[in-house]
Amino acid sequence: MKNNLEYYHHRTAILVDGAFFIKRLRYLHSKKSNYDPYSAKNTIKDLYRMVQSHLKHCNGLLYRIFYYDCPPLTKRLHNPINNKPIDLSQSRQAVFMNELFVELKKSRKIALRLGKLNDPGYWRIKDKKTKLLLQKKIQVDQLLENDVEWSVNQKQVDMKMGLDVASLAYKQLVDQIVMIAGDSDFVPVAKVARREGIDFILDPMYKSISPDLSEHIDGLYSTYGKKKTEKKCQENSLE
């Protein structure tokens, strides 16, 4: 006789850290010559493929996909290297992000949660070039226009995600959460869910995660692409 658990369907919510998802998606596609990293429709198709794979793997019924990100910066700037004028609203990334948000809003079972960008108002040298400068392998006057970037950071995204997890958990709307992310900042979110008895699965899209994040999840499963990897996490006490 088959185990009755085989017939049990988990009511599953999928939470997506949008910035992380886009970055990893482009990295995993980077060797494909025919891949367009700025196609909003293809990006959503990839997202749905991942969701379907997770639902199949965990025998889940989709409650909703929660997608978290921030609108792109749209200000006008001058590059400090060559004083070239830049209209960020016309950049490929900004156009792509706006198109993606429009498509997400029209897509079934997706709730779009937008935070805000904190704009401190300064340029920064990219990390790789900063390292070379500190090692004295290059000089400041050797920097090119693509070696600097406008410094921004996200606000309210973690808070919105935390509120959604708390609502899902305390109202008992789901019994499983799959989070597509890779940042240990989400440890408090995972702990809230697990305290309420929710099975918490992390999909870091094949990116290694920190030990403190691994400690507070119930499973680790990356599903994107042809290869499949699964790592069962040890049973942890609900702290």
pTM of the predicted model, to two decimals? 0.85
Q: Is the same domain home to 17 and 54? A: yes
Number of domains comprising the chain: 2
Burial annotation 56-95 (CB, 10 A radius, 16+ → b, else e): eebebebbbbbbbbbebbeeeeebebeeeeeeeeeeeebe
Q: Say whether both 95 and 144 belong to one domain.
A: no
Q: Residue 95: what residue type?
A: V
Tell me, what's the pLDDT at 225? 66
Asked, for residue 191, whether it belongs to a domain, the answer is: yes
Distance of CA 68 to the CA centre of its chain: 8
**What pLDDT is stored for residue 186 in this prediction?**
82
- From 138, 139, 143, 142, select the one nearest 124 (Cα to Cα): 143
The whole domain housing 137 covers: 116-152
37 and 106 in a single domain? The answer is: yes
Q: Is residue 181 part of a domain?
A: yes
pLDDT score, position 147: 94
* In a domain? residue 70: yes
pLDDT beyond 70 at 3: no
Q: Is the pLDDT of residue 238 over 90?
A: no
- Residues 41, 103, single domain; the answer is yes
- The per-residue pLDDT for range 173-192, each reduced to its tens digit, is 999 999 999 877 788 888 99
Q: What is the pLDDT of residues 23-80, one digit of tens each?
A: 999 999 887 778 899 999 999 999 999 999 999 988 899 999 999 999 998 899 999 9
pLDDT (0 to 100) of residue 239: 30
The CATH number of residue 66's host domain is: 3.40.50.1010
81 and 19 in a common domain:
yes
